[in-house]
Amino acid sequence: MHLYNVLNGLQRLRNVDIYVTGSNSKMLSKDVMTAFRGRGDSVEVHPLSFKEYYDYVGGDKAEAYEEYALYGGMPLVLFRKTEDDKFKYLSSLFEEVYFKDIIERYQIGLPEVLSELTDDLCSSVGSLTNATKIANTLQTVKGIKVDSGTIASYLTYLSESFLFRQAKRYDVKGKKYFSYPSKYYCSDIGLRNVRLNLRQQEETHIMENIMYNELICRGYSVDVGVVDIFETDAEGKRRKVSCEIDFVINKGVKKYYIQSALSLGNAQKEKSELRPLLGVKDFFRKIIVTKSGMKPWFDEEGILHLGLYEFLLNPAALDL
């Protein structure tokens, strides 16, 4: 409490701004806000966005993106010259900073479960999951017996320590949240890749994770959308199909529906990607982002098509 008293005393000085930082094992942002009882502001500091990264490195956009998609936006990565140095730095950051802090702060009794859970989340970014499913997977695949309650607690710890963020599923038409399952995204894609020893380089999931982080950095709340649509099958019968919209984002009165697609290589793929957006009948903007350098354009349904580099480098791209 002595530190809190000193810092609170400094707030009387008009020409002083106070910034508190430190180990996750000792003090998280929520602890600071509790200690100061609303007399301070919490400022989230994220890894570098792709725009911040590109403003520093310059050069070919596609080449810069591929490097960013591999090693992420931790600032010190920029000053590691070799691939080996970058790998060692991120690996050490994961083990020596994040994991040790989490284990110390929360007095983790099953560190091997925390490690396996982290691997599972890194392997399945952009996939729906829940505590029960993960617990069953660990028991079936790894032979580790753990209850879903422990997994749920560990998921919370990983999120509170800023390694992962949870995106909840939102019923677009019913305007309500589902309790489970959810998606988890890594706060930095480089940490994710190094954790998996650079083995699982699925472009689709990595692109989706990078887009999610970009939207969070821009201050949007980000959910996974679910919309029910009706289709006629081959026998002429009407059936209800639940479709997923990658991101339903909100900030103030603004709301957008966004699909992430590596490419729209053929008519069938394009129909599949656009179907969830067309199933939403409100008047908020609907956007599809593909991995390309194309200029923005609107199709006949009013859907905005954006290239990935335009989306990442132009903060105003959603409002074109």
pLDDT given for residue 222 in this prediction = 98
Q: pLDDT digit string (tens) for 263-280?
A: 998 888 898 999 999 999
- Nearest Cα to 93, choosing from 83, 104, 101, 81? 101
Mark whether 306 and 176 lie in a shared domain.
Answer: yes
pLDDT number for residue 215: 98
The mean pLDDT of 181-185, rounded to a whole number, is 96
State how far Cα 193 lies from the chain centre: 14
What is the percentage of the chain residues whose pLDDT exceeds 70?
A: 92
DSSP secondary structure of 206-256? HHHHHHHHHHHHTT-EEEEEEEEEEEE-TTS-EEEEEEEEEEEEEETTEEE
Residue 130 burial by CB count (10 A; 0-12/13-18/19+): exposed, middle or buried? middle
Average pLDDT over residues 111-126: 94
Burial 268-287 (b: 16+ CB within 10 A, else e): eebeebbbbbebbeeeebbb
Close Cβ partners of 221 (under 8 Å, ≥ 6 residues apart)? 249, 250, 251
Identity at 113, one-letter amino acid code: V
User: Residue 16's pLDDT is what?
Assistant: 78
82 and 156 both lie in a single domain: yes
| pLDDT bucket at 18, cuts 50 / 70 / 90 | confident
Q: How confident is the model at residue 44 (pLDDT cuts 50, 70, 90)?
A: confident
> What pLDDT was estimated at residue 5?
76
Same domain flag for 113 and 214: yes
**Structural contact between residues 275 and 259, judged by C-beta atoms closer than 8 angstroms:** no
- Torsion, Cα of 192, 193, 196, 198 (10° steps): 180
Record the pTM.
0.89
Same domain, 8 and 130: no
Tell me the mean pLDDT in the region 291-314: 96
My answer on whether 17 and 50 are in the same domain is no
Confidence of residue 2 (pLDDT cuts 50, 70, 90): low
- With cut-offs at 50, 70 and 90, classify the pLDDT of residue 32: low
Domain limits for position 28: 2-36
Task: Give the pLDDT confidence score for residue 273 in this predicted structure.
Answer: 92
Q: What is the mean pLDDT of residues 259-265?
A: 93
CB-based contacts of 244: which residues, under 8 Å, 6+ apart?
A: 224, 225, 226, 276
**Are residues 82 and 14 both part of a single domain?**
no
The arithmetic mean of pLDDT across residues 178-203, rounded, is: 94
> Of 33-42, 54-63, 136-145, 276-285, where does mean pLDDT reach its minimum?
33-42
- Of residues 16 and 186, more confidence is placed in 186
Do 174 and 92 lie in one domain? The reply is yes
Mean pLDDT, the chain, whole residue set: 90
Residues 240, 181: Cα–Cα separation, whole Å: 20
Tell me: the pLDDT tens digits for 194-235?
999 998 888 999 999 999 999 999 999 999 999 998 887 778
- Give the span between the Cα atoms of 317 and 320, in whole angstroms: 5
The pLDDT value given to residue 230: 84
Half-sphere exposure of 221 (CA within 13 A, CB side): 10
The average pLDDT across 150-174 equals: 94
Q: What is the pLDDT of residue 189?
A: 97
Better-predicted residue by pLDDT, 38 or 90: 90
Among 136, 116, 262, residue whose Cα is nearest residue 202: 262
Report the pLDDT value the prediction gives residue 24, as an integer from 0 to 100: 61
pLDDT of residue 259: 97
285-297 pLDDT per residue, tens: 999 999 998 999 9
Same domain as 112, residue 245: yes
Query: How many distinct structural domains can be found in the chain?
Result: 2
- Nearest-10 Cα torsion for 305, 307, 309, 311: 10
Query: What's the CA gap between 100 and 187, in Å, rounded?
Result: 18
* 258 in the same domain as 155: yes
For the record, the structure tokens of 84 come out as: 């080996």
The pLDDT of residue 28: 58
Shared domain for 30 and 49, answered yes or no, is: no
Beta strand pairing call for 238-251 and 221-232: antiparallel
Where is 109: in which H helix or E strand? none
130 and 12 in a common domain = no
The continuous run of DSSP H or E covering 171 comes out as strand 169-171
State the residue for tokens 């969070």.
216
- The answer, yes or no, to whether residue 153 has pLDDT greater than 90, is yes
Are residues 203 and 242 located together in one domain of the fold?
yes
How does DSSP classify residue 294? P
Q: Which residue has the higher pLDDT, 234 or 313?
A: 313
Specify the residue for token string 């200690």: 35
pLDDT digits (tens, 9 = 90+) for 72-107: 999 999 999 899 999 999 999 988 888 888 998 899
